[in-house]
Homo-oligomer: A and B are copies of this chain.
Amino acid sequence: MLEASPYSLEPYFVSAVSVDIVIFGFENKSLRVLLVQRGVEPFINDWALPGEMVQADENLDDAADRVLFELTSMNEVYLEQVASFGAPKRHPAGRAFTVAYYSLIGTSAHPVSPNGWAQRARYFDIEELPKLAFDHAKVLNTCLERLRERVRMRPIGFELLPRTFSLSDLQSLYESILGETLDKRNFRKKILSMGIVEATGELQSNVSHRPAKLYRFDESRYEALVEKGFSFTV
Residues on B with C-beta less than 8 A from A181 are none
B52 and A1 contacting across the interface, CB-CB below 8 Å: yes
Q: A13-21, A24-32, A182-190: which lies at the B interface? A: A13-21
8 Å CB contact of A40 from B7, B52, B58, B97: B7
Q: Given A60-B84, A99-B84, A40 and B94 touching (CB < 8 A)?
A: no
CB distance A3 to B97 under 8 Å? Answer: no
Interface centre among A4, A6, A134 (most CB of B within 10 A): A4
A199 → B minimal CB distance (Å): 31
Give CA–CA (A99, B60) in the complex, Å: 12
In the assembled complex, the CB of A195 is this many whole angstroms from the nearest CB of chain B, namely: 22
Indicate which residue in B12, B57, B93 contacts A88 across the interface (CB closer than 8 Å): B57
A87 pairs with B116, CB closer than 8 A: no
> For this complex, into which size category does the number of interface residues on chain A fall?
35 or more
Stretch at the interface among A41-49, A105-113, A155-163, A218-226: A41-49
Q: Is A207 an interface residue (CB 8 A)?
A: no
A91 at the interface (CB under 8 A from B): yes
Shortest distance from the beta carbon of A48 to any chain B beta carbon, whole Å: 6
A69 on the B face (CB < 8 A)? no
| A192 contacts B by Cβ under 8 Å | no
- Taken together as a complex, chains A and B put the C-alpha atoms of A134 and B3 apart, in Å, by 11
A123-147, CB under 8 A of B: which get 1 and which 0?
Answer: 0000000000010000000000000
Q: CB-CB < 8 A to A73: which residues of B?
A: none
A88 to B7, CA, bound (A): 22
With a CB–CB cut-off of 8 A, which chain B residues contact A2? 16, 18, 53, 91, 93, 96, 134
The residues in A between 25 and 76 inclusive whose CB is less than 8 angstroms from any CB of B are 38, 40-42, 48-54, 56-60
Whole-angstrom CA separation of A206 from B14 in the bound complex: 58
Contact between B97 and A7, CB atoms less than 8 A apart = no
Give the chain B neighbours of A86 by CB distance below 8 A: 17, 54, 59-60, 99
5 contacts between A and B (CB under 8 A): A2-B93, A2-B134, A7-B40, A9-B94, A97-B99
The 7 A-B pairs at the shortest CB distance, nearest first, are namely: A1-B51, A3-B117, A4-B41, A12-B16, A3-B40, A12-B53, A84-B84
